Amino acid sequence: MTLVHDLLVRVRRTPERLLHPLRRRKAVAALRARPRPAALLVVCHGNICRSPLAAELLARAVAPFGIVVRSAGLIGFNRPAPAEAMAAAERHRVNLSDHRSTLITAQLARADLIIVMDPTQRRHICERFGRRPADVILLGDFDPGPVETRTIRDPVDQRRDVFDEVYARIARCVQGLAAVLAGTKS
């Protein structure tokens, strides 16, 4: 049963793997065609695992350009990062011990560019806050390697190895995104 299930999952993800290079080129070209953003907002579901790490890594990478980076979530408020998230973040030299989740607001959603973890979050932000799809990008589209999905998996309530895998992918994607932002005109 597991072998059949694994095979079906791989077959279903084949289009994603094939489309990734095209989506990456398209995302890079679209970002290069616009002025360098002054403010970025990184969003995930709860703002306790993925977006805090991505925002901190991105803030470090774009600091020379004076870009402001914040993070928020679609649910919850004032929640700490789980212990697994803090431990995995420490392995990336990021301290999440003082982080508390922030709920996305209309004011935060005015950022020049919003970075999300999956297409559902993108759709939600565009509908709820009236943002154009071009202003809401998927972080996973900037992964330089071959990927099975553009969605960056939510590691909440998962094992350490899942957090490490997800955080390594976030770091790769942030590095790719930051390289594009560094090349845009201010």
DSSP secondary-structure letter at 105? -
Confidence of residue 74 (pLDDT cuts 50, 70, 90): very high
16 part of a folded domain? no
Across 161-166, average pLDDT: 93
| Count of domains forming the chain | 1
The pLDDT of residue 118 is above 70 = yes
pLDDT tens across 8-46, in order? 666 666 677 778 888 899 999 999 999 999 999 999 999
* Whole-number CA gyration radius for the chain: 16
**Domain of residue 91, residue span:** 24-30+38-183
pLDDT at residue 7, as a whole number: 66
What are the residue numbers of the active site?
44, 50, 154
Q: What's the Cα-to-Cα distance from 184 to each of 49, 93, 149, 151, 163, rounded to whole Å? A: 28, 27, 26, 25, 31
80 part of a folded domain? yes
107 part of a folded domain? yes
9 part of a folded domain? no
pLDDT at residue 11, as a whole number: 60
Side chain identity at residue 123, one-letter code: R
153 part of a folded domain? yes
pLDDT at residue 5, as a whole number: 72
160 part of a folded domain? yes
3 part of a folded domain? no
Supply the pTM of this predicted model. Answer: 0.89
102 part of a folded domain? yes
